A and B are shown apart, each in its own frame.
Chain A
Amino acid sequence: MSTYWEEEEADLDDARQDSLKQIEIDLLLEGIHRTHGFDFRHYLRSSLSRRISHRMNVEGLSTITALLEKVLHEPKFIDKLLNDFSIKVTEMYRDPGFFLAFRRDVVPFLKELPEIRIWHAGCATGEEVYSMAILLLEEGLLGKARIYATDMNENLIAFAKQGKFPLKRMQSFTKNYLQAGGTKEFSSYYTTDHEHAYFHPYLKENMMFAQHNLATDRSFNEFHIILCRNVLIYFDADLQNRVHDLFIDSLSASGFLCLGSMESLISAHKPQYEDFNAAERIFRKSE
C-alpha cells in the first residue's frame, strides 16, 4: 500500500514540478519581454524549455527562477539567452533544390520587374542572404535588387554584416552552391585567411541588415519576395498566424513567399496563396 501511495505522491509531485516549471518559464519570458523587449512568449514551449535547460546546465543553475534573476540583474546575461534562443542553423544554399527551383522558376518573373525587393526574415548569420546575392548576381539581377535581411538577434546581424564564414563549413557550402545550379566558380566570390572565407564586398552593396523581431515588429516595406525559412517552426500557432499576417501585408501582388523545407502554410492563410512550387515551399500571393 505504502508503495502505491508513494508512487501516487511521486506522480503528483512530478505534475506539480511540471506546472511549476511552466510558471517559471512564463515568468522568465515575461521578465525578458518586460526588461529587454524580446517577446518569446509565443515560441514553442518544448523548444524553449530545452534551450532553457541547456543554459541552466551551462550556468550550473538549479531553477529557472535563478536564471530569471540573472536576466534581471546581470545586464549582459540576456545576450547569452538570446543566443540560446535563436537557433542559428543555416548554411549557404541550404536545401539546394530550393535555390535551384528559385533560379529556374522565380527568376524569370523577377526579370520583368523594374526593381526587386527581397526580405530575408530571420536571416541569422546571413548565409542565405549571401547565397541569394550570388544567385541574383549570376542572373544579372543584383543591380536592381534590394535585399533586406533581418533578425531579432543583433549579434547575429552584426556577424551577418561581415560576410565572413568559417572555412570549416565552406566545403559543404561549395557543394550546395554547385547543386543549387551555380554557374560560376564559387571560389571567385571569396578570399580566405586561415580561418574564414570573406565574401566580396560588392555582394553587400545592395544588402541592408536590420534588427527586426517578427514577434513584435510591424511590416516595414512591400516586398516581391519574402524568405522565412525554418523560422516559423519555433513559433506557436498564434505567433505563426501573426507572422503570416505580417507577410501578407508585406507582400506585393503576386509576390513570392518562400518557407523552409518542412514548413507549410497554416490553413487560415492557404486561400491567400497559390502553390507555386509546393515541393520547394514556394508560394505565390493570390491576386
Chain B
Amino acid sequence: MLQNVRLTIRTKILIGYFLVICCLGAATIVVSERISSLQNEIETIASRDIEIQNLITTIRYNAISMETSQRGFIITGDEAYLDPYIKGKKEWEANYNILYPYLSDNPAAKKILEEIKLIIENWIATAGEPTIALRKDNNTQEIIDFFYEDKAKQDIDLLRIQFENIRQTEIESTQNHLMQLENRNNNLIIGLYTMLLLVSVAAFMIVSFVSGTIVKTIKQVVKSITDIASPGGDLSTRINVTARDEIKELADATNALLDNVNNQNWIQTKVAEVATMNQGINDMKTLAESFLSKLAPILNAIYGVFYIRQGAGEQQRIVKIGSYAASGEEEGIASFRLGEGLVGQAAVENRTFLLNTAPDHPIIIKSGLAQVTPQSILVVPIEFEGKAVAVVEFASAESFTSQHLKLLELIENHFGVAVNNVAGRMEVERLLSESQVLTEELQAQTEELQAQSEELQMQQEEMRMTTEHLEEQNLFAEQKTKELEKAKAELESYSEQLKQSSQYKSNFLANMSHELRTPLNCILILSQILSENENQTLTPEEEGYAAVIHSSGNDLLALIDDILDLSKIEAGKVILTMDEVNVSEIPEHMKLGFSPIAEKKGLSFQISVADDVPAVLYTDGQRLQQVMKNLLSNAFKFTETGSVTLCIQNADTESIKKYVPSCLNDTVLAISVTDTGIGIPKNKQQLIFEAFQQVDGETTRQYGGTGLGLSICNEFTRLLGGRIVLKSEVQQGSTFTLYVPSRPNMEKEQLAVEHHEAAAAAQDIVPAPDWMEPTISQANEFEVSLFKGKRVLLVEDDSRNVFALVKALESKQFIVTVANNGKHCLDILQQQTGFDLVLMDIMMPVMDGFEAMRAIRQDTAMLETPIIALTSKAMKNDRDKCLEAGASDYISKPLNMEQLFSLMRVWLTKQVGH
C-alpha cells in the first residue's frame, strides 16, 4: 500500500497521531458513558432508596399518626384530635401508590408492602372507623369493649413488624444495588486499563511503524552521506531511497548537491591540478606549454594557443608563446596588437569570447589520420589584478560546456597569479642572473683592479725601492762627489803638483836631454872618430867596439829625442811651425834617408806621387817629416823581405768624412806607407799607438825599439789636425796612412790649446764606480744593508740568552737595545723611538710579554712595528695569546738563528699590496 501511495512523513505522523487520538476519544467516550451511567445509577439508587425510605417512613408515620389521632379522639372525643387521622387516612394511600412503583423491582418488598396495605386497610376498617363512629355515638361501652378485645393491636404490631421487614428488605436491596454498583465500577476500572493498554499498544505500533519508515530512510540517507563523507568515500556514490517522502526529496537534493559538489570538486581538482602544475615552473614558455597540455584534454579541446602580453605602453603586444596540437610554429598568428582580433579584444576587454560555430576559422587540426575543423572556439583572457596578462585560445570539435567555462573562469584567476608569479620569477631570475653576471663582472673587474693595483703597488714599490735606491745612490753619490771633490781637489793639487813635476820632468827631460845630448854628442863624435880609426891605432876588434858605442849612442840619442818629443807633447810644449811645405820635396827627402836602409836590407823602396797632389801643403813640415820618417823606419824595421812603398795622393772625400771630418773643406793629403812585413794582429792595432807599446814582448826582443815612435807619430799627427789609419794583416804587411790636412789659417797657439783641452778631457773620464757592477758578494752586501743599522729592541730577561742574541744580532750589524722585562721595554720605548723590530720574550718578571705587547700596540706610532714573540714550545696556548696581544709573528725557543734571521728578513722587508 505504502509503496503505491505517496505518503509523506507528515501524513504518516498525522495518521499516527490521528489513530492515537481516535483511540483516546473512544476510550474517553466509553469511560464517560460509563461514568454517567454510574452516576445515574448512583443517583437513582440514592434518590429511590431515600424516597422509599421516606415513603415507608411516611406511611409508617401516617399509620402511627392515624392510630394516635384515633386514640386521642377516642379518649377526648375532641374532633380536633381526629385531623391527623383524617389526613393520614387520605395520605397513606397516596404514599402507597407512590411507593408501590418503586418496589416493583423488589417483589419481596412489594409483597410486604401489599401486606402492609392490607393491614392498614384492615385496621381502618376494623379499628379506626368503628371506634370513631362509636365515639361519635358516645357508645363508650362498646368502645371499652372494643378495646378490651383490642383486635386492632394485632394489626398495629403486625404493621410494625411488616414495616421493619420492608425496611430491612429495602436496606438489603440498597446494599445489593451498591454491590452491583461496585462491581460495575470495578469493571469500569478494568475496562479503562484495558482500554489504555489497547490504545498504548495501538499507539506504539503506529508510532513504531511511522518512525520506522521515517528513520529507516533517514538512516539510509545518513549512511550514504557518512559513506560519502568518510575518508576515501566515493563522491560519485548516490543516495538511493525507495520511499517517496521528504527523505526522498532530501536524498534527491543531497544527490543534486553531491552532483554539484562533484562538479565543483572536479573544477576545483582541475584548478588545483593546474595550480600545482604551475608550481616550480620558472619559465613562461614551459608554463604556457604545460598549461595548454594540461587544460586542453580537460576541455576536450583539440587545439590551443597561449598568448602573453609583452612590452609596455604603445609597444604592448599579445605574443604567442605556446601552442597545443598546432601543426608547426606558423599555426596561429604569432602576435596581436591590443584590440586586434578576438585575442587582442579579449585582452583589452578582459572578456571571454565563445564562438560556437566557426565556419570561417581557417584552422584545420591535423591528426595522424584526419584533419578536423573545430566547431567551437573559446578565447579566454587570463587576468591578474583586473588586467589581462595573457590570452588563451582553445578550439574544440565539440561545444564547450558551461562547466568548462566555469572551470576556465576559476582557473583564469589562479592562473593569472601564476602567470604573474612566473613573470615575476622570470624577472627576478633575469635580474638575479643579471646581477650575478654583474657581480662576476664586478669581481672580474675587482680582480683586475686588484691585479692592476697590485701591479701599480708593485711598480710603486719598485719605484719606491728604486727611489730609495736612488736616494741611497744619491747619498752615496753625494758622498762620492764630496769625496770626489776632495779627491779632485787633491787630484788638482796633485795634478798641479804633477803638472809642476811634469813640468819639472819635462823641463828636466828637456834639460836633461839637452844635457844628455851634449855628452852624448861627445861620445857619438868621439866614438865615430874612434870607429873610423883613421890613425889605425885600434885593433879591428876595438874598432868594432867603437862602432857599437857609436850606434848605441845613436840609439840612445834617438831615444832621448823621442822622450824629449813625448815629454814636450805631454807638457804641451810642442810648438808647431806652420809653413808652406813643398810636397814634391818630400819624396826626395825620404828617398835620401831610406834608400840606403832599403839597399842594406835588400828591400825595394818605391815612392809614388799622384799627379793631382797640390804643390804646397800648409803644415809643420818638420813634424810631418818626422812622422813619415818614423813610419818608414818602422816599415823597414819590421819588413824582412819584400818592399816598402810610400804613396802620396789626395785623400778621397769618403776617407775625409770617415777619418778627419773636421777638415772636409780643406785639402787633405793621404800619405801611406805600405810594407810587406810581419803585420799587426787586429787586437793589437789600437795598442801600438800608445806609449811604450809594441805588439808583444817578443817583438820587443826581436826588433828592439822603445815603442815610443808610433805614439809620438800619433800625437804629432793629431797636432797637425790629421790622423793615422792602420790596415794590417798578420804576416801580410801593414799600411799606415797618414791623413794630413792643409791648414793655411791655423795658428800655432790654437793648436796648443786644443791639445790641452784634449788632454783635460781625457783626464775627466773617471773609472766606473764599483757599485755599478753587481758582484758575487751582492747578497751579503744586501743583507748587510737590510740588517745594517736596523734598530732591534730585544726584550728578554735571561742574561745568557741576551748575551747570545746580542752577539748574533750584532754580527749582522743590527743595533740592539736590550730591555730586561716588559716594564723596562715600555720605559725604553717612551724615551726612544724608531725601532725597526721588537723581539719579545713572553715569560718575564715584573711585566710579561703579553702585557707589554698590548701596551705597545696602544701607541699608534707602534701599531705597525713588527713584534716577534719568542714563545716557549711547551706553551701551546701562548701562540694565540701572543697574536691576540698584538704580536706580528712568533718563533719558539730554543731559537734557530737561521729561522730567526729569515723571519726578520720577512718582517724588515717593505711590503707590497695590502
Contact = CB atoms under 8 A, between A and B. Distances in A.
B439 A262 contact: yes
Contacts of A174: 888-889, 906
Interface stretch (B21-29, B270-278, B560-568, B896-904): B896-904
B898 A191 contact: yes
Contacts of A274: none
B491 interface: no
A263 interface: yes
A171 B912 CA distance: 9
Counting chain A CB atoms within 10 Å of each CB, the highest count among B439, B450, B909, B913 belongs to B909
A159 to B, nearest CB: 15
A264 interface: yes
Interface stretch (B92-100, B441-449, B686-694): B441-449
B905 A233 contact: no
B909 A47 contact: no
Contact of A89 (B450, B461, B783, B912): B450
B4 to A, nearest CB: 72
B443 A187 contact: no
A262 to B, nearest CB: 4
B906 A172 contact: no
A52 to B, nearest CB: 12
B890 interface: yes
A149 to B, nearest CB: 19
Contact of B906 (A192, A237, A260): A192
Interface in A165-203: 166-172, 174-175, 178, 185-188, 190-195, 197
B892 A233 contact: no
A87 B451 CA distance: 7
Contact of B911 (A169, A234, A260): A169
B782 interface: yes
The B interface is mostly helix, strand or loop, or mixed, namely: helix
Contact of A171 (B454, B782, B888, B899): B888
A44 interface: yes
Interface in B788-832: none
A230 B906 contact: no
B701 interface: no
A168 B451 CA distance: 16
A88 interface: yes
Contact of B786 (A46, A169, A194): A194
B444 A233 contact: yes
Given A167-B909, A169-B913, A171-B888, A194 B902 contact: no
A111 interface: no
A172 B911 contact: yes
Given A187-B899, A194-B782, A168 B447 contact: no
A262 B445 contact: no
A23 to B, nearest CB: 22
A185 B906 CA distance: 13
B889 A264 contact: no
Contact of A168 (B443, B461, B889, B898): B461
Contacts of B600: none
A264 B892 CA distance: 41
A185 B890 contact: yes
B725 interface: no
Nearest to B900: A187
A194 B783 contact: yes
A269 interface: no
Contacts of A237: 437
B911 A186 contact: no
Nearest to B783: A194
A168 B902 contact: no
A91 B458 CA distance: 14
Contacts of A46: 441, 444-445
Most A-side CB within 10 Å, residue of B440, B461, B900, B910? B440
B907 interface: yes
Contacts of A16: none
B454 A233 contact: no
B908 to A, nearest CB: 9
B888 A191 contact: no
A50 interface: yes
B440 A168 contact: no
A283 to B, nearest CB: 16
Interface in B752-789: 779, 782-783, 786
B436 interface: yes
Contacts of A89: 447, 450-451, 454
Contacts of B906: 167, 170-171, 174, 187, 192, 197
Interface in A13-57: 44, 46-47, 50-51
B441 A172 contact: no
A69 B774 CA distance: 37
B883 interface: yes
Contacts of A195: 782
Contacts of A91: 913-914
**Residue from A178, A195, A260 having most chain B Cβ neighbours under 10 A:** A178
Given A89-B450, A190-B902, A262 B443 contact: yes
Interface in A133-189: 166-172, 174-175, 178, 185-188
Contact of A188 (B447, B899, B912): B899
Nearest to A46: B441
A87 B910 contact: no
Nearest to B902: A192
Contacts of B891: 185, 187
Given A187-B903, A194-B905, A233 B451 contact: no
Contacts of A262: 439-440, 442-443, 446
Contacts of B898: 191
Interface string B521-554: 0000000000000000000000000000000000
A145 to B, nearest CB: 25
B683 to A, nearest CB: 34
Contacts of A168: 461, 909-912
Contacts of B889: 174, 178, 185-187
Contacts of A263: 440, 443
B901 to A, nearest CB: 7
Contacts of A51: 448
A178 B890 CA distance: 10
Contacts of A192: 901-902, 905-906
Contact of B779 (A194, A234, A264): A194
A58 to B, nearest CB: 11
Contacts of A175: 888
27 contacts: A46-B445, A51-B448, A87-B448, A89-B451, A91-B913, A166-B912, A167-B905, A167-B906, A168-B461, A170-B911, A171-B906, A178-B889, A185-B889, A185-B891, A187-B903, A187-B906, A191-B902, A192-B901, A193-B779, A194-B779, A195-B782, A197-B902, A233-B443, A234-B444, A234-B447, A262-B439, A264-B436
Given A87-B447, A168-B912, 13 more contacts: A87-B448, A89-B451, A167-B905, A168-B461, A168-B909, A168-B910, A174-B888, A185-B899, A187-B900, A187-B906, A192-B906, A193-B783, A194-B905
Interface of B: 433, 436-437, 439-448, 450-451, 454, 461, 779, 782-783, 786, 866, 883, 888-892, 898-903, 905-907, 909-914
Interface of A: 44, 46-47, 50-51, 87-89, 91, 166-172, 174-175, 178, 185-188, 190-195, 197, 230, 233-234, 237, 260, 262-264, 267
